[in-house]
């Protein structure tokens, strides 16, 4: 019988789907969803929910004790584009939420933690193609700096206090159930909505901006697979590179045009271009594949088919 799980940031792009999947797997009453504000009607009806500020240690501790939580998925964060507009708010949310959860684990009030990192931990002088697990990491964004710092703290709490914290460096994630919030890779979600609504999309990144991307179903499966793996298989306690596909705005437009021949894309790069240019183009995720059996299932055309099919409903 699985012990209760708490998802902090359950209303976000990943949190929403993680909550649904974990409730399907363990039962709704075993998965407590929480966020700073209420979520979709579907999410609110699907099981227990708590309003929770991820930067408030005492509030998290209250929920953990009340529901006898054993595992925490900390999905609350301010993403790359928004973090550039509010650096100190981003640092406060992204770091203090992590310290709150790591300290609960250090004090043995919970036994396992998932925390998302990102390809944003890499910077302009990181090798761009097949970026390895261990390489130059000089992130040039507030979000990337917070994720790199978070990885260092996760590894520290594992080595110093034996905290079982696990993490993956998510690429850009594509999903239809929830809109993403404030990311640089959000174009890869918006484009499907605009293709169906208007038959056209003005992309805020240049046509040849190649970025690592992943369909949400793959990301959720990887997350749960990592958390279910025996601790002794987990050799990386900062955060695992996690890859599946890479593409440019031009390539995703071509994939859409196979279904919507009249679809038109135009380009108007904005401040997010500089963020995207600082990130890798493709990821080497051999450690995740070798240590806990990671294997992606969705390529670009399969992602496009799934997105258009579900958004049309």
Residues lying near ligand VAH in the complex (CB under 6 A): 79-80, 118-120, 143, 170-172, 180, 183-185
Residue 185 beta carbon to ligand VAH: minimum distance, rounded to whole angstroms: 4
Q: Minimum distance from CB of 183 to ligand VAH (Å)?
A: 3
Note if 67 is an active site residue. Answer: no
Q: In angstroms, what is the minimal distance from the CB of 79 to ligand VAH? A: 4
Nearer to ligand VAH, 18 or 105 (CB): 18
Q: Nearer Cβ to ligand VAH, position 47 or 180?
A: 180
Nearer to ligand VAH, 242 or 256 (CB): 242
Nearest-approach distance from CB 28 to ligand VAH, in angstroms: 27
Measured CA to CA, the distance from residue 144 to residue 79 in angstroms comes to 9
Token representation of residue 46: 């699907």
Cβ nearer to ligand VAH, comparing 16 with 80: 80
Cα–Cα distance for residue pair 112/69, rounded to 1 Å: 10
Return d(Cα 227, Cα 5) in angstroms, integer. Answer: 12
CB of 312 to ligand VAH, least distance (A): 24
Nearer to ligand VAH, 24 or 208 (CB): 208
- Residue number, 23 or 281, with CB nearest to ligand VAH: 281
Minimum gap (Å) between residue 120 Cβ and ligand VAH = 5
Measured over the CA atoms of residue 235, residue 73, residue 229 and residue 163, the dihedral's sign is positive
- Indicate the residue whose CB is closest to ligand VAH: 183
Q: Given 67, 73, 143, 240, which residue is catalytic?
A: 143
3-state DSSP of the chain: CCCCEEEECCCCHHHHHHHHHHHHHHCHHHEEEEECCCCCHHHHHCCCEEECCCCCHHHHHHHHHHHCCCEEEECCCCCHHHHHHCHHHHHHHHHHHHHHHHHHHHCCCCCEEECCEEHHHCCCCCCCCCECCCCCCCCCCHHHHHHHHHHHHHHHHHHHHCCCEECEEECEEECCCCCCCCCCCCHHHHHHHHHHHCCEEEECCCCCCCEEEEEHHHHHHHHHHHHHCCHHHCCCCCCEECCCEEECHHHHHHHHHCCCCCCEEEECCCCHHHHHHCCCCCECCHHHHHHHCCCCCCCHHHHHHHHHHHHHC
Catalytic residues: 143
């Amino acid at each position: 019988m699985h012990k209760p799980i708490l998802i902090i940031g359950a209303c976000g792009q990943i949190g929403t789907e993680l909550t649904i999947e974990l409730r399907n797997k363990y039962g709704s009453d075993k998965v407590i969803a929480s966020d700073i504000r209420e979520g979709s009607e579907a999410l609110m009806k699907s099981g227990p929910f708590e309003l929770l500020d991820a930067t408030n240690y005492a509030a998290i501790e209250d929920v953990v004790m009340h529901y006898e939580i054993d595992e925490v998925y900390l999905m609350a964060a301010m993403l790359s584009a928004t973090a550039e507009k509010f650096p100190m708010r981003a640092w406060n949310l992204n770091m203090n939420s992590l310290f709150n959860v790591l300290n609960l684990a250090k004090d043995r009030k919970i036994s396992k933690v998932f925390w998302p990192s990102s390809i944003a931990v890499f910077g302009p002088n990181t090798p761009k193609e097949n970026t390895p697990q261990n390489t130059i990491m000089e992130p040039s964004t507030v979000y990337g700096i917070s994720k790199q710092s978070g990885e260092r703290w996760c590894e520290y709490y594992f080595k110093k206090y034996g905290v079982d914290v696990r993490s993956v460096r998510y690429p850009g994630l594509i999903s239809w159930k929830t809109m993403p919030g404030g990311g640089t890779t959000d174009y890869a979600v918006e484009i499907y909505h605009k293709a169906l609504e208007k038959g056209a999309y003005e992309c805020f990144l240049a046509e040849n901006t190649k970025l690592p991307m992943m369909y949400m179903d793959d990301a959720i499966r990887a997350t749960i697979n990592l958390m279910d793996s025996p601790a002794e298989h987990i050799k990386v306690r900062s955060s695992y590179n996690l890859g599946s596909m890479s593409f440019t705005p031009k390539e995703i437009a071509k994939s859409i045009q196979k279904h919507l021949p009249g679809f038109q894309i135009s380009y108007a790069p904005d401040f997010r271009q500089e963020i995207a240019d600082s990130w890798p183009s493709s990821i080497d995720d051999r450690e995740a594949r070798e240590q806990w059996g990671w294997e992606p299932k969705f390529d670009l055309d399969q992602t496009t088919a799934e997105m258009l099919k579900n958004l049309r409903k």
